Amino acid sequence: MKKSVAFLGAGSMAEAIIAGMTSNQIVSAQQIIATNHSNKSRLLELEEKYQIKTSQDRKKVIEQSDVLILAMKPKDIKVATAELKPLLTDDKIIVSLLAGISTSFIEQQLGTKNPVIRVMPNTSAMIGESATTIAAGTHANTEQINLIEELMTAIGTTTVINEEDMDAFTALAGSGPAFYYYMVEAIEQFADEKGLDQEIAKPLMVQTIKGVAKMLDVSEDSPQTLREKITSPGGTTEAGVQTLADHHFQQAIKACLNQTTERSKELRKLFEK
Ligand SMILES: NC(=O)C1=CN([C@@H]2O[C@H](COP(=O)(O)OP(=O)(O)OC[C@H]3O[C@@H](n4cnc5c(N)ncnc54)[C@H](OP(=O)(O)O)[C@@H]3O)[C@@H](O)[C@H]2O)C=CC1
Ligand SMILES: O=C(O)[C@@H]1CCC=N1
C-alpha cells in the first residue's frame, strides 16, 4: 500500500498497531509516522524499536500523511479535532480508535466532508491477531472503507459492522482480551498456591487456551456441547463447573460485558459535549 499513515497518539494501542503493521508487508515502517501530546522519549522509543518516523511537530505530521489515526484518549477528542480542522485537505482519511466516540461527532467537530472511519482493534494487534471491528461514518465511501480494512488486515481479522453495535463489540473484542487475562491471572495464582512450577504450568495453560480457541473456531459443536463432552457425570469437571455456577460465573461475565458496553456509551456522553 502506498499511503502514508500517521498516529496522532503514541500510547499502548498505537504501539500494538505499529508493531503489527511493521512486521507485515502492507505498509513499510518508513510510511508510518507517530506523534503524541508531549512525551518525546516515548517517540524516540518507538522510533528505535520499529524504525518508524516520529515528530513532535503535529502540524507537519498531519499535513504530510494520507491516513490519520486518532489514537489519543476519548477525553482528548475535542482538542485533537480542533487542531486537525484547519490542517485538513479533502483527500485525508480520518480513522478513530477512540472508545465510545461516534463518527458523527468527529464529522461535526471537523465540519468537513473528510471520511471518518471508526476502528476498534485490540492489543493482540501486536502479534497480528487483533479482532478488529470497523464502522464507517457518513462521508466514507466503499473504496475508502476497503482501504482501511486492507490496512487493518496487517494486525489481524477485520469485520465491518453497524456503528450502533460498536459499544457491544468494544466489550466483546476491544476490551475482551483484558477479561481473559484476568481469568489467567487467577489460574496463575492457583498454580502458585499449589506450588506448581510456573515454567511447566504456563505452557500447559497457554496450550489449553489455544486448543479451546481452535476448537471454537473449527468445531461444529456449540460451546455448551463442547463443555458437556468434557464433563463426565460425577467426574472432576462437573465439580468445577458446579463451583463456577455456585459463584454465579456466567452472571459475572454478562454483567462485566454489559458494564463495559455501558461505559462506552458513557464516554460518548461525557466527551461529546
Ligand atoms: N489500549 C487498548 O487496548 C485499546 C485502546 N483503544 C483506544 O485507543 C485510544 C488510545 O488508547 P491507549 O493507547 O491505551 O492510550 P494511552 O494513554 O496509552 O495513549 C494516549 C496517547 O495520546 C497522546 N495524546 C494526547 N492528546 C493528544 C493530542 N491532542 N494529539 C496527539 N496525541 C495526543 C498521548 O501523548 P502523551 O503521552 O505525550 O501525553 C499518548 O501518546 C483510546 O481512545 C482507546 O479508547 C481502542 C482499542 C483497544
Ligand atoms: O479501556 C478502554 O477504554 C480501551 C477501549 C477498548 C480497550 N481499551
| Residue 214 belongs to a domain | yes
Which listed ligand is nearest to 259 at the C-alpha? 2
User: Does ligand 2 come within 6 angstroms of the Cβ of 172?
Assistant: no
Say whether 73 sits in a helix, a strand or coil: coil
> 19 alpha carbon to ligand 1 midpoint, in Å?
16
Same domain, 206 and 230: yes
The domain that contains 91 carries what CATH number? Answer: 3.40.50.720
Residue 194 neighbours by CB under 8 Å, 6+ apart: none
218 burial type by CB count under 10 A (0-12 exposed, 13-18 middle, 19+ buried): exposed
| Residue 213 belongs to a domain | yes
Same domain, 241 and 223: yes
Same domain, 121 and 175: no
Shortest CA distance to 95 belongs to which of 175, 2, 3, 169? Answer: 3
Altogether, the residues listed in the chain come to a count of 273
Same domain, 130 and 183: no
Is 195 annotated for ligand binding? Answer: no
Q: Structural domain of residue 58, as residue ranges? A: 5-161
What's the pLDDT band for 82 if we cut at 50, 70, 90?
very high
What's the pLDDT band for 166 if we cut at 50, 70, 90?
very high
Q: What is the ipTM of this complex?
A: 0.98
Same domain, 23 and 155: yes
Same domain, 183 and 58: no
**pLDDT (tens digit per residue) in 170-193:** 999 999 999 999 999 999 999 999
Same domain, 95 and 132: yes
Please tell me the predicted confidence (pLDDT) of residue 2: 85
Which listed ligand is nearest to 132 at the C-alpha? 1
Nearest CA to ligand 2 atom 1: 175
pLDDT tops 90 at residue 225: yes
Please tell me the predicted confidence (pLDDT) of residue 193: 98
Same domain, 39 and 108: yes
- Ligand 2 atom showing the smallest separation from residue 174 Cα: 6
Please tell me the predicted confidence (pLDDT) of residue 92: 97
Q: What percent of the chain has pLDDT over 90?
A: 98
**pLDDT (tens digit per residue) in 8-17:** 999 999 999 9
Edge-first strand order for the sheet with 116-120 is: 53-54, 32-35, 5-8, 67-70, 93-96, 116-120, 130-136, 156-160
pLDDT tops 90 at residue 67: yes
End-of-domain residue from the set 161, 184, 203: 161
Structural domain count, the chain: 2
**pLDDT (tens digit per residue) in 95-128:** 999 999 999 999 999 999 999 999 999 999 999 9
CA separation for the pair 80, 93 (Å, rounded): 15
Same domain, 173 and 65: no
What's the pLDDT band for 218 if we cut at 50, 70, 90?
very high
pLDDT tops 90 at residue 24: no
C-alpha cell at 79: 482538542
pLDDT tops 90 at residue 86: yes
Please tell me the predicted confidence (pLDDT) of residue 26: 84
| Residue 273 belongs to a domain | no
| Residue 48 belongs to a domain | yes
Q: Phi and psi of 245, rounded to 5°?
A: -65, -40
CA separation for the pair 14, 266 (Å, rounded): 23
- Ligand 1 atom showing the smallest separation from residue 177 Cα: 3
Same domain, 27 and 153: yes
End-of-domain residue from the set 139, 161, 183: 161
Is 115 annotated for ligand binding? Answer: no
Q: What percent of the chain has pLDDT over 70?
A: 100
**pLDDT (tens digit per residue) in 234-257:** 999 999 999 999 999 999 999 999
The domain that contains 190 carries what CATH number? Answer: 1.10.3730.10
| Residue 105 belongs to a domain | yes
User: Among the listed ranges 20-24, 64-68, 129-133, 235-239, which one has the minimum average pLDDT value?
Assistant: 20-24
> 98 alpha carbon to ligand 1 midpoint, in Å?
8
Please tell me the predicted confidence (pLDDT) of residue 1: 78
Please tell me the predicted confidence (pLDDT) of residue 25: 78
Q: What angle do CA 215, 249, 260 make, to 5 degrees?
A: 85
Mean pLDDT of the 84-99 span: 96
Chain-centroid distance of CA 24 in Å reads 17
- Top mutation candidate among 70, 73, 167 for ligand 1, by most atoms within 8 Å of CB: 73
| Residue 181 belongs to a domain | yes
End-of-domain residue from the set 128, 161, 194: 161
Which listed ligand is nearest to 120 at the C-alpha? 1
Same domain, 84 and 15: yes
Please tell me the predicted confidence (pLDDT) of residue 155: 95
- Top mutation candidate among 72, 169, 172 for ligand 1, by most atoms within 8 Å of CB: 72
CA separation for the pair 267, 102 (Å, rounded): 10
Same domain, 113 and 183: no
Mean pLDDT of the 221-234 span: 98
| Residue 132 belongs to a domain | yes
Is 9 annotated for ligand binding? Answer: yes
What sections of the chain are H helices per DSSP?
12-22, 40-50, 58-64, 77-84, 103-110, 142-152, 166-169, 176-193, 198-218, 223-230, 236-246, 249-271
